[in-house]
A and B are shown apart, each in its own frame.
Chain A
Amino acid sequence: MSDQLMALDGAQGPKPKKRFSRRNIFIYGTLIVVSLYYLLPLYVMIVTSLKGMPEVRMGNIFSPPVEITFEPWVKAWAHACTGLNCDGLSRGFWNSVRITVPSVIASIAIASVNGYALANWRFKGANLFFTILIFGAFIPYQVMIYPMVIILREMGLYTKLGGLILVHTVFGMPILTLLFRNYFSSMPEELFKAARVDGAGFWRIYFKIMLPMSLPIFVVAIILQVTGIWNDFLFGVIFSKPETYPMTVQLNNIVNSVQGVKEYNVNMAATVLTGIVPLVIYFISGKLFVRGIAAGAVKG
């Protein structure tokens, strides 16, 4: 009965939306145009890297390659020159791997324990140090770099791999500690208390309870650190030497070198190669990356 009445009332529910309303055309149109603008550099980079040098000189940068060649890639990877070395970006790539992997592990290990101590094992003065640390995140690196050079020199680590790892660990600490502290603080305290009552100590609670329960935040931290350290240029320039230059520094030296003829296709291939690692991480990690940068934005 009531169903019939309803039917007589006419159309129910919200007014159906027209798919091609002016509003939708405006929204999607704008977003598509902006997206194309954002994708353009990536497209140009890849297209240029697949062309031969004559084609680069003749054609325009937006046209797709007539003849696809992978020679620029091979050259960028294995033969491009920086100064006296002509073994391409491969050296920089492996240097970056050697720098990134230990730095990520060291910084996350230290920062997670710090965050855990700050969240669950407050001691007097802890907050003061934490505040200094957070303020430190805003201090321009240039202010602290020279004394850091002196400290590392005194420790015998200057231009050594260990020194660079130490620098990355130190300067990654503020944001990572904040990340872990906030995460551990948001975990139910009863859990911690129950473990305490059962007689578990500092390390035992950390390894048996906290660590297994906080894998997502570790993934976020890893994403944050891998992209951050891989993309670093400043520390790479200052705290390493030509043999141990990370990929970004070597890339810049290859592309901006004044010697010889500029090979734009090789340069672009080298640029793509350097960008691949963070891009792959970005597209695989998706939402976690967003979470990481939302927290890591402080790093600037």
Chain B
Amino acid sequence: MAQTERPNQLFRNLSAKIAAIPMIITAVVVFFGCTVWTIVYSFTKSKLLPKKIFETTDLFSIPVPEWIASDGALDIWMITGIVEKSFVGLAQYERLWSTSRWIVSIENLAIYGVCSLVFSLVIGFVLAALLDQKIRFENTFRSILLYPFALSFIVTGLVWQWLLNPEYGVQKIVRDLGFESFTFDPLYNPDIVIYGILIAGLWQGTGLIMCLMLAGLRGIDEDIWKASRVDGIPMWKTYIFVVIPMMRPVFVTTLVLIASGIVKLYDLVIAQTSGGPGIASEVPAKYVMDRMFLAQNLGQGLAASTMMLVLVLAIVIPWAYLEFGGKNKNV
């Protein structure tokens, strides 16, 4: 009896298994397989042929991949595919870390990342706290603060490119008011270009953080507030010493979300500066794309993207470990 039931084990719940096939394929082939492929090939000196020379006229404002504008070029070299698969060990990584473009990318990511984390958490929390004061028109305010999040990074980047345009934008307005020597041209100044991108990034993303924080605040027991009012504790103290510690999980989750989003920063840079002036606003995601698809230096691109993966894992694994008590260790 038991033996006749055995073969059925595989076919039990068959519809569910069939229905889950897309998920299984995605998980195994794409998320697992592709990642492993990338890591393995980052140790080779893969290149793509035929090497096509791209006229990079003006670094500051190359439109995205002109590669394709020269009709069908992409298909040709894509079909030719990879040549040279010989393993070179860590050579790609050594080269990566001695490339100034990559170093600049990492520095930019660090500046953008830290500032964006701090500012969006602080601004997001303060706005959420203000909205949580049982005010009128809460929905209106929330809609206004959140709408940029519905826009793409490309749209965001282009709007801010226009606003920060020194000839027409904010700088000109202030100069017209009489401050002749006022300069505010972040997108054209290599030293501060990343802050220009930060302004746009914050405008787009703070609304989301505010919403998550607001949800967190609404989850706080009303009695906490009553108790602190009875004890005569000022409101700001209650926030800092009682409410914020209670909202730790919300903060941690938000932090992970922002952080893993920051590593992916790409569209915004493309739209606002295309990495310029010079290489001043390069970011890792753009470095990967340029190595892979423009410079045809696949090995470099793969090594750089593996570094991105390491960065994300450094954020996500400790979080997942804390959050799920090590349940996900097997991944």
Q: Specify the chain B residue showing the minimal Cβ separation from A238.
A: B293
**How many Å lie between the Cα of A84 and that of B292 in the bound state?**
25
**Cross-interface CB contact of A128 among B172, B212, B267, B330, cutoff 8 Å:** B330
What total count of A-B pairs have CB within 8 Å?
Answer: 290
Contacts A61-B163, A121-B15, A146-B38 given; does A34 touch B145 at CB 8 Å: yes
Is the CB of B270 closer than 8 A to any CB of chain A?
A: yes
Contact A289 B173 (CB under 8 A): no
Interface pick from B62-70, B86-94, B112-120, B241-249: B62-70
Is the CB of A216 closer than 8 A to any CB of chain B?
A: no
- Chain B residues lying within 8 Å of A149, measured Cβ to Cβ, are 78
Is the CB of B103 closer than 8 A to any CB of chain A?
A: no
Type the 1/0 row for B162-197, where 1 means its CB is closer than 8 Å to any CB of A. 110100110011001000000000000000000000
In the assembled complex, the CB of B151 is this many whole angstroms from the nearest CB of chain A, namely 5
Contact A31 B31 (CB under 8 A): no
Contact B208 A297 (CB under 8 A): yes
Contact A129 B267 (CB under 8 A): no
Number of interface residues of A (CB under 8 A): 102
Contact A56 B168 (CB under 8 A): yes
Q: Specify the chain A residue showing the minimal Cβ separation from B9.
A: A124
**How many Å lie between the Cα of A113 and that of B74 in the bound state?**
36
Contact A170 B64 (CB under 8 A): no
In the assembled complex, the CB of A282 is this many whole angstroms from the nearest CB of chain B, namely 4
Is the CB of A191 closer than 8 A to any CB of chain B?
A: no
Contact A140 B74 (CB under 8 A): no
Contact B308 A170 (CB under 8 A): no
Contact A135 B38 (CB under 8 A): no
Query: In residues 223-263 of chain A, which contact B (Cβ within 8 Å)?
Result: 227, 230-234, 237-238, 241-242, 248-249, 251-253, 255-258
Contacts A135-B316, A143-B308 given; does A170 touch B30 at CB 8 Å: yes
In the assembled complex, the CB of B274 is this many whole angstroms from the nearest CB of chain A, namely 6
Contact B22 A38 (CB under 8 A): no
Contact A144 B27 (CB under 8 A): no
**How many Å lie between the Cα of A278 and that of B151 in the bound state?**
6
- Chain A residues lying within 8 Å of B285, measured Cβ to Cβ, are 140, 142
Number of interface residues of B (CB under 8 A): 108
- Chain B residues lying within 8 Å of A150, measured Cβ to Cβ, are 81
In the assembled complex, the CB of A55 is this many whole angstroms from the nearest CB of chain B, namely 11
Is the CB of B1 closer than 8 A to any CB of chain A?
A: no
Is the CB of A86 closer than 8 A to any CB of chain B?
A: no
In the assembled complex, the CB of B168 is this many whole angstroms from the nearest CB of chain A, namely 6
Contact B38 A143 (CB under 8 A): yes
Is the CB of B49 closer than 8 A to any CB of chain A?
A: no
Q: Specify the chain A residue showing the minimal Cβ separation from B144.
A: A35
**How many Å lie between the Cα of A126 and that of B66 in the bound state?**
43
Type the 1/0 row for B90-118, where 1 means its CB is closer than 8 Å to any CB of A. 00000000000000000000000000000
**How many Å lie between the Cα of A264 and that of B164 in the bound state?**
13
Is the CB of A103 closer than 8 A to any CB of chain B?
A: no
Contacts A38-B147, A44-B163, A253-B64 given; does A298 touch B289 at CB 8 Å: no
Is the CB of B141 closer than 8 A to any CB of chain A?
A: yes
Contacts A251-B155, A256-B271 given; does A136 touch B143 at CB 8 Å: no
Contact A141 B159 (CB under 8 A): no
**How many Å lie between the Cα of A170 and that of B30 in the bound state?**
8
Interface pick from A5-13, A64-72, A182-190, A267-275: A267-275
**How many Å lie between the Cα of A201 and that of B75 in the bound state?**
46
**Cross-interface CB contact of A138 among B68, B212, B312, cutoff 8 Å:** B312
**Cross-interface CB contact of B305 among A118, A140, A237, cutoff 8 Å:** A140
- Chain B residues lying within 8 Å of A286, measured Cβ to Cβ, are 139, 143
Is the CB of A212 closer than 8 A to any CB of chain B?
A: no
In the assembled complex, the CB of B59 is this many whole angstroms from the nearest CB of chain A, namely 10
Contact B13 A121 (CB under 8 A): yes
Q: Specify the chain A residue showing the minimal Cβ separation from B151.
A: A275
In the assembled complex, the CB of B5 is this many whole angstroms from the nearest CB of chain A, namely 15
Contact A268 B162 (CB under 8 A): yes
- Chain A residues lying within 8 Å of B168, measured Cβ to Cβ, are 56-57, 60-61, 264
Contact B145 A271 (CB under 8 A): no
- Chain A residues lying within 8 Å of B161, measured Cβ to Cβ, are 255
Contacts A41-B160, A234-B266, A294-B215 given; does A249 touch B152 at CB 8 Å: no
18 contacts between A and B (CB under 8 A): A31-B131, A38-B147, A83-B69, A110-B22, A117-B16, A131-B330, A136-B26, A144-B34, A146-B305, A248-B152, A258-B63, A271-B159, A274-B154, A281-B150, A282-B146, A297-B212, A300-B261, A300-B264
Interface residues of B (CB under 8 A from A): 12-13, 15-17, 19-20, 22-24, 26-35, 37-38, 57-58, 61-66, 68-69, 71-72, 74-75, 78-79, 81, 127, 130-131, 133, 135, 139, 141-155, 158-163, 165, 168-169, 172-173, 176, 203, 207-208, 211-212, 215, 257-258, 260-261, 263-264, 266-267, 270-271, 274, 285, 288-289, 292-293, 298, 301-302, 304-306, 308-309, 312, 316, 320, 328, 330-331
